[in-house]
Homo-oligomer: A and B are copies of this chain.
Amino acid sequence: MSTIFDVAREAGVSITTVSHALNGFSDVSEKTRQRIVEIAQALDYYPSAAARSLQRRRTDTVAFAPLLRGHIESEPFFKEFLGLLTLSAFRHNLSLLATIAYTPSDTNQIFRELAGSGRVDGIIVADIKPQDERIGLLGSLDIPFVAFGRTADYEDLYYPLVDVDSRAGIRAVVDYLVGKGHQRIAYLSGPFNTSYSLHRYYGYLEGLKNHGLPVDERLVIADLQEQSNTTEAVAHLLSLSDDESPGAHPTAILAANDHLALQVIQELQDRGIAIGSESGSGSGSIAVTGFDDLPFAAHVQTPLTTVRQPIAAIADILLSLLMSIINNRAGSKKRVPPAPDTIKPDHDGQLSTRGQGKADVHVKWIGPMQALVEPELVIRASA
């Protein structure tokens, strides 16, 4: 492999000049630059990435560091997100280093090493919990980061984040269902150990409240971990017959994510219960909705009414935000957060993601570097 020395020798100039020529400095004549570029090409010269980042203190790599609870296989959203984040990183000219942690202490170790070794320029954390030690840790490690999700104290403990407005998403579902005549809406969720699952639940409560509907504890099940739990849960809901307690039987089941919704649909189908809300609330059919709009949602037996998270756009915003932080702190010690327009949302808070079609994603800036992305209700046959 040829080095910058080879190019310099061949061109009869110093390595400084080669470096400057190749990096677009203005203190090299156009003629010389041309010659150097040609020679570099002829010699098949590419700057050594290692030497470059040693001196520049930049790796052009960011880490993606979720803290997974279950196994990866059981997190379809995770895989989807990872894929789109990878693509987005490529478009930003970044490498993505994915790290997987299952415990907070894993995370701790990983973060320290990433920050200490200068292996990455920044970190994207995900799966934020209401109280999440990682935010504080990253702050103390003094490495640029951005969170996908927010802790309960995101306003006080200020840090850059992107989150989906899950509450609004679920409220939209409730609105829709109520509009379809549903009054008894069950809520199924995994345990409330992440912020987003809590937010979705809040959305459910708010939605009911907005329509003056009571919260029936029997209709809320939030500890679903495995398939078998779901089977039980559905059985339980169906056992709430109108005979024993009038008006107890749910006419709609709101699942906190697509994965769960799919299981519910299968349970209902196994029992021969019709799915959807077309036939009105008295027909015995049950409406089912999900959240995420993962690729399979449109293709399951009864296409799923769900809330779409604009994953590609989220990935893009996360990276843009992170890069803007990284670039700004390189400049000097001024810690002034960049104006939101650095991330180029237009006037009224809209932000169009480049590439990937011009899906219109609505972004609300709730802080200088805190974005709330609006999900979108997608209506299909299941409700």
Contacts and interface: CB of A to CB of B under 8 A. Distances in A.
Given A50-B118, A54-B54, A79-B80, 11 more contacts: A44-B112, A46-B117, A49-B59, A50-B54, A82-B82, A82-B83, A89-B98, A90-B100, A96-B98, A299-B300, A300-B300
Given A98-B96, A300-B300, A50 B53 contact: yes
25 contacts: A44-B116, A46-B116, A46-B117, A48-B54, A49-B59, A49-B117, A50-B50, A50-B51, A50-B118, A51-B54, A72-B87, A78-B83, A79-B80, A82-B82, A83-B83, A86-B98, A87-B100, A89-B98, A90-B98, A90-B99, A90-B100, A96-B97, A262-B299, A296-B296, A300-B300
- In the complex, the count of this chain's copies comes to 2
B83 A72 contact: yes
A119 interface: yes
A12 interface: no
Contacts of A50: 50-51, 53-54, 59, 118
A367 interface: no
A280 B51 CA distance: 68
A112 B46 contact: yes
Contact of A95 (B79, B97, B302): B97
Across the A-B interface, the 10 shortest Cβ-Cβ residue pairs = A46-B116, A301-B301, A296-B296, A50-B54, A79-B83, A46-B117, A49-B119, A50-B53, A95-B97, A49-B117
A312 to B, nearest CB: 9
A76 interface: yes
A139 interface: no
Interface residues of A, number: 47
Interface of A: 1, 44-54, 59, 61, 72-73, 76, 78-80, 82-83, 86-87, 89-90, 95-100, 112-113, 116-119, 262, 266, 295-296, 299-302, 356
A18 to B, nearest CB: 15
